[in-house]
Structure 1
């Protein structure tokens, strides 16, 4: 197989990103906080994007969230097919849930819920990184790309528990 298409595990960019991300998340309590807070932040961003009005009548609510999820999915798929497929499942589940919430609560209700979840989950993240637990700044302070790595890192922890190669 062509070396530019297939890279050995450990030499892929995602392996380096995970190694760096893991080095900033060694405290067990901080890891546990991240396992809950990172998916909540991901969902809240999707929910907030869902609330942005769509111009015209050709597209439905959720267009901006769908475009962002597609862009995120392309990033994950290029980094690792297994992570890409897993994140696709996560995005589909979150999109279904967000559509249901939007239909149930309306745009203002979804916006308030997503904003509240966003704020609370970020507070939890910063508590996890405080001197109380990790004592290190979040990875995204060194590179904004780590905002995308967090959800994949959490998924990779699930994959390891299930014995899935990524």
Structure 2
């Protein structure tokens, strides 16, 4: 008797996340706001100290690696790009720009969920704060026909 393969954790998490992200407008808002939130959060951490931002990136990459190597590679590339941009910005601008982007992007997220008519996934499970970026990345991977 052959057993069906068990769904991977990443597939279960993405499917659960997608349940509250069915509206096309909400999805589009997320495609802009989630990367903006990641960038701004890294910027806030960078303003504390670049090592703090790097440690958070490494911790999140460890989690992503446990879920999916291809996603970990994609998030690693995005993190390197974001940290490079932060390193290139004038030091005094990093914190105010990051705070402004963070606030505006979260307002966008909540507007998207108001349009969707469903609460954000992370209200039920904080892991979804880390799954959101993978949800966005999954669309890019599917468009590029990359397995995750």
Which of 101, 114, 127 is the matching residue for 2:111? 127
Which of 108, 112, 117 in structure 1 is aligned with 2:101?
Answer: 117
For residue 77 of structure 1, report the CA deviation from its aligned partner: 1.0
Match of 2:7 among 8, 11, 14: 11
Pairwise CA RMSD: 1.0
Unaligned runs of 5+ residues in structure 1 are: 1-7, 53-60
Q: Does residue 32 of structure 2 align to residue 36 of structure 1?
A: yes
- The answer for the alignment partner of 2:125 in structure 1 is 143
Give the equivalent residue in structure 2 for 1:5.
none
Q: Which residue of 1 aligns with 2:137?
A: 155
Which position in structure 2 is the counterpart of 1:55?
none
Deviation per residue, 1:87-107 (Å, 9 max, x gap): 110111011011111xx2x2x
Q: Any unmatched runs of 5+ in structure 2?
A: none
**Alignment coverage as a number of residue pairs:** 144
Partner of 1:77: 65
1:26 aligned residue (22, 26, 31): 22
Pick from 41, 48, 63: which aligns with 1:45? 41
> Relative contact order, CA 8 A, sep 6+: which one is greater?
2
Q: Structure 1 stretches (4+) deviating beyond 3 angstroms?
A: none
Tell me by how many angstroms 1:40 deviates.
0.3
2:50 counterpart of 1:62: yes
d(CA) in 2 for partners of 1:67 and 1:154? 23
> Which of structures 1 and 2 has the bigger CA Rg?
1
Q: 3-state SS of the aligned residue for 2:98?
A: helix
Deviation track 1:52-82 (CA, whole Å, cap 9, x = no partner) reads: 1xxxxxxxx4000000000011111110001
